[in-house]
Amino acid sequence: MPARELYLHEFIDIIGQGQWAYMEHAKAQAGHEKVDFELLGTWYTMGITGRWPQVINIWEIPGGWDGWYGKVDRLGLKRRTNNDLFKWWDTAYKLRTGGFDRLLGGHPGCPNIAQLTREHVRGTLFAHELTTVRPGTATEYLDAVREVRQPLMNEYGHQLVGLYEVLMHDYEVCTVWATNPSDHVRMGKAFDVARGLLDAESAGVAGDSRLVEWRRAAQQWTDHFREELMTPAPGTVCGPDDYETDDSVLERRTKKSATKKSAKKSAAKKTATKKAPSKTKARKKTATKKAASKKRR
């Protein structure tokens, strides 16, 4: 049996609009030999679905439990003299006020960074789920997610990024999915149509009773289920290559372009108007010269 993959999950409370800078700060530290964490992803929580301003990081811990030993050792009594990380922490605290961390254990079927990279798992939107389960049922629930829910989520454009048991207690699991806004909405509509809360014709999507059945079946293990949406930092393992441009910017660009074209046309008309009289004067001069020439004859 291969060594169990371990991960560090972080909630970071951000100061003001510091989420962009903090995510870049996390990316810069990824894979540093003195840290020995591999950044699986850094996201900011979409404020319309969860706490804000907040960033979520997930780090892969090379070496599993043996790798975890190194982290515990260096962040204990040795932390006070950890010169390698002091500057990084100092910069980070200018962007954050604190946070909350969890140690995660990868459940069988959970992809690691190498697999996510190899299979090109990418998304522009991520679903982050922290589920409270009945004590002792975490692994049973995660088995069901892998065997029943994952194939269904795949049909709705959601790819599995994380299937984690939260360690050091017995009542919480974490699941993460890579998707996009269109598929997120499509699945939400299908769920509501299946429950009779939305008309299929107006929604443009058929109801899917399997989504309802899963939620009902999951309740045999879960006490509370909560999902929030996350936006990925470009350039990370599962994130896009770059940020997208908002419609408001595109509209301003279109207006500026139209204004420039209008100004050019107006300038061209003025130039043509100025040139027109000079041609008329030239014709009059020519006619006058001809008349004078005839008189002399």
Residues 6+ apart with CB under 8 A from 114: none
pLDDT, tens digit (0-9, with 9 covering 90-100), for 187-226: 999 999 999 999 999 999 999 999 999 999 999 999 999 9
Summarize the confidence of residues 100-112 as an average pLDDT.
98
| Cβ-based neighbours of 230, under 8 Å, separated by 6 or more | 43, 44, 45, 46, 56, 125, 126, 127, 128
CA separation, residue 101 to residues 13, 40, 82, 168, 177 (Å): 11, 15, 20, 11, 20
Instruction: Report the C-alpha gap between 133 and 125 in whole angstroms.
Output: 25
To which residue do tokens 């260096």 refer?
74
- Output Rg (C-alpha) for the chain, integer angstroms: 31
Q: Phi, psi at residue 42, to the nearest 5°? A: -130, 130
Q: Which residues contact 98 (CB under 8 A, 6 or more apart)?
A: 12, 13
Encode pLDDT of 240-265 as tens digits: 999 989 888 878 877 777 677 777 77
pLDDT at res. 273 = 67
Please say if the pLDDT value at position 39 is more than 80.
yes
DSSP alpha helices (H): ranges in 106-246? 113-118, 138-144, 150-155, 181-194, 200-203, 209-218
Determine the pLDDT at residue 58. Answer: 98
pLDDT digits (tens, 9 = 90+) for 160-186: 999 999 999 999 999 999 999 999 999
Model confidence pLDDT, tens digit, residues 108-151:
999 999 999 999 999 999 999 999 999 999 999 999 999 999 99
d(CA 79, CA 201): 60
Its sign, for the CA torsion 226, 227, 230, 236, is: positive
